[in-house]
Structure 1
Amino acid sequence: MLKDNGTIISTFRVRADECDRLWVMDTGLADILGDATSYATPSLAIFDLYTDKLIRRHYFPESLLKEDSFFANVIIDAERGDCDNAYAYVPDLGGYQVVVYSFKEDKSWRVKHNFFHFDPLSGDYNIGGVNFQWTDGVFGMAVGKRLRDGSRPVYFHAFSSTKEFMVSNRILQNETYSQSPESYYDYKLMGDRGPNSQSSAEFYDAETGIIFYTQVNKDGVGCWNTAKPLTPDTQGLVDSDSDALVFPNDLKVDTEGNLWVLSDRLPMFIFTSLDPAEYNYRILTGQISDIIKGTPCE
């Protein structure tokens, strides 16, 4: 329900937070794969899930945008009981940066780091019989469990990469320090998932401490128990299906211990064509306690 606050042009992802708000990432672009037209700068639209009313619309300042900027994800760092002190982390897969938005200050700023770039050795994809190359940078992000000092780790990875990194949310939330050279060493390499383990989205399950992530080159969904070191041997493949899970594009965990996965055959849509006689879009779900059985994540 936007009323006089404009319209939503092109939503790439949404996220519900612990304060019963829905955050919508609008790229502001139409006909992205054709003659792309920008009708507005990228923005966050925040709705009250109880009333469906728009709480706020924040447009990113032009100064935060690069020529190849593309915002296709949004991650929320919020806690019930302190809802005003919420932050959104918006990865820019084309500009190799992350935009941080403070709800309390209604202000956004960008953070840059070498770890936000793609790995030139991990840009080759073979999905659904389609071979292509992408140079997508930082894409997947997940906010981990609160630590004793009150901070929370923010895990992240570039789409065209097999490595996982981490930085404290306190670094991202400090506008001045996060943009200083000194912050470079606050970013840590967690490890490498192994060959062909490129991933779009990831999601941290607070109940188990497990990060679930898409496995686009494997038509599947992977998992990593954050209590263990990140190595290829500690990565689990909770499911793989060359029909139902062709390009798992997004996933989320609900409050009842279920994992939800969206697959959409995006490479065929972009580079070849979709067969209207087939099921091209699927939403799959499974109980976490069941799907991790027999994996290193258990």
Structure 2
Amino acid sequence: MNRRTLSSLASKPVQLLSVLLLVVTVVNAIKLTEKFKWREVKFEWPSAEAEQEAINVGKYIVSHNLPLGLERWKDKLFITVPRWKSGVAASLNYVNISDDISPTLRAYPSWEANQLPDTKSEESTPKTLDNNNTIISTFRIRADECDRLWVMDTGLADILGDAKQYAPASLAIFDLYTDKLIRRHYIPESLMKEDSFLANVIIDVERGDCDNAFAYLPDLGGFQVIVYSFADDKSWRVKHNFFHFDPLAGDYNIGGINFQWTDGVFGMAVGKRSRDGTKPIYFHAFSSTKEFMVPNRVLQNETYSQDPKSYYDYKLVGDRGPNSQSNAEFHDPETGVIFYNQVNKDGVGCWNTAKPYNPDTQGLVDSDSDALVFPNDLKVDTEGNLWVLSDRLPMFIFTSLDPDAYNYRILIGQTKEIIKGTPCDTE
């Protein structure tokens, strides 16, 4: 039962106590509230003439712009729009927290930095970009404790069409106070595999030790994790059997669409520091229902991470149960709860890290067959708010979206409140 069902029930005389109790139960279960929603996303163009010209030549196709990733920093909420198809206006954008319900997206760090380079020849992938500020196509981003925005740029545009690699995959790191590029690290070609795809970035750093930062880049197609050391400006890859997908968990049924995916390691979360000084890095493949863990010291030591002995440092945490595939997760340091998307259940799940990991200890903080069709990304901000973005991606890829319906939503909830009454409750 979704939010629209509640509205229709309210208009009819209901006398059966059991139905009333059902309605009360559903109302109590709805803990995330809509902050933003769009039928189709629009952008803040330099001018109306520039927008119309882009439409005329096919550089802007409104229906091809699908928001996917999000991150909050102060009064900004960053929203990514990957270049799945041609005609994407800007891949890295933001809105202000105080904006109206369906705000226009503003390009970050600038409009110019989000324009595709003009290439007159079909040359092999260039080694660098002429303008290092340029963002080709990003799926997920992360603002760290040191007020830097880490952008995982795939360098690939028109993924579902005439795909073109404008530049190698790279990490672009911006100073959020100045909006200036701090550094860009191109992932060496030697680390990439034929089916490699880097669509996520997880940052491991603490305020006061900003130079000692590490980025973990799960490679969902190459079944590996690429680790980047900010101090050394160097990256390396880590391989393990646990990074592969589960062949029994590749079937999806979302919004009436049945399809199969074979995505490997995707969701990752940095846990709480333990007494020995290490942090657990939780991870799972998208097409899987199992959760794993490895100490961060293993990933951060390039030499040891390649040692066969390191294989046994990886541990199975547990299994979420059937139909619980998830593409993103995030550890909330305040509650000790890991929140994760439940794509097959139109919802958001949770697990209290102080408890065992099994189907009985998994909570569902919210589920909605309209507002949460394919929750695609989630983050917890510094104020204890959980932000969730849903975008109906399977319809976008396999069929089409209804331009008259609300297709994209961003929902919000206080972490301490939304876990109440679930197995994740800390009280």
Pair in the same fold by TM > 0.5 = yes
Aligned 1:106-121 pairs, distance under 5 A = 106-121=233-248
Tell me whether 1:239 sits opposite 2:366 in the alignment.
Answer: yes
Gaps (5+ residues) in structure 2?
1-108, 114-129
Tell me whether 1:94 sits opposite 2:221 in the alignment.
Answer: yes
Task: Name the structure 2 match of 1:196.
Answer: 323
One of 125, 148, 160 as aligned partner of 1:33: 160
Task: Name the structure 1 match of 2:143.
Answer: 16
Report the Cα offset of residue 4 of structure 1: 3.5
Residues 133 and 181 in structure 2, CA contact (< 8 A), matched pair in contact too? no
SS of aligned partner of 2:360: helix
Letter of the 1:114 counterpart: N
Identity of matched residues, %: 85
Report the Cα offset of residue 179 of structure 1: 1.2
SS of aligned partner of 1:5: coil
Letter of the 2:217 counterpart: V
Report the Cα offset of residue 180 of structure 1: 1.5
SS of aligned partner of 1:189: strand
Which stretches of structure 1, 4 residues or longer, exceed 3 Å deviation after superposition? 1-4
Q: What is the RMSD of the two structures over their aligned residues, measured on CA atoms?
A: 0.9
One of 255, 259, 264 as aligned partner of 2:391: 264
In proportion to residue count, which structure has more strand? 1
Aligned 1:75-86 pairs, distance under 5 A = 75-86=202-213
Supply the distance in 1 between the matched residues of 2:388 and 2:248 (Cα, whole angstroms): 27
Aligned 1:83-232 pairs, distance under 5 A = 83-232=210-359
Supply the distance in 2 between the matched residues of 1:209 and 1:144 (Cα, whole angstroms): 8
Higher CA-based Rg: 2
SS of aligned partner of 1:293: coil
Show CA shifts across 1:62-105 (max 9, x none).
00100000001000001000000000000000000000000000
SS of aligned partner of 2:412: strand
Report 1 or 2 for greater relative contact order, CA contacts < 8 Å, sequence distance ≥ 6.
Answer: 2
Show CA shifts across 1:112-171 (max 9, x none).
000000000000000011000000000000000011111100000000000000000000
Supply the distance in 1 between the matched residues of 2:159 and 2:310 (Cα, whole angstroms): 34
Supply the distance in 1 between the matched residues of 2:173 and 2:343 (Cα, whole angstroms): 29
Report the Cα offset of residue 186 of structure 1: 0.4
Supply the distance in 1 between the matched residues of 2:179 and 2:137 (Cα, whole angstroms): 19
Report the Cα offset of residue 6 of structure 1: 4.8
Residues 335 and 416 in structure 2, CA contact (< 8 A), matched pair in contact too? no
Report the Cα offset of residue 241 of structure 1: 0.2
Tell me whether 1:46 sits opposite 2:173 in the alignment.
Answer: yes
Report the Cα offset of residue 34 of structure 1: 1.2
How many residue pairs align between the two structures?
Answer: 298
Report the Cα offset of residue 206 of structure 1: 0.4
Task: Name the structure 2 match of 1:283.
Answer: 410
Letter of the 1:19 counterpart: C
Supply the distance in 2 between the matched residues of 1:108 and 1:51 (Cα, whole angstroms): 26
TM-score, structure 2 as length reference? 0.69
Letter of the 1:282 counterpart: R
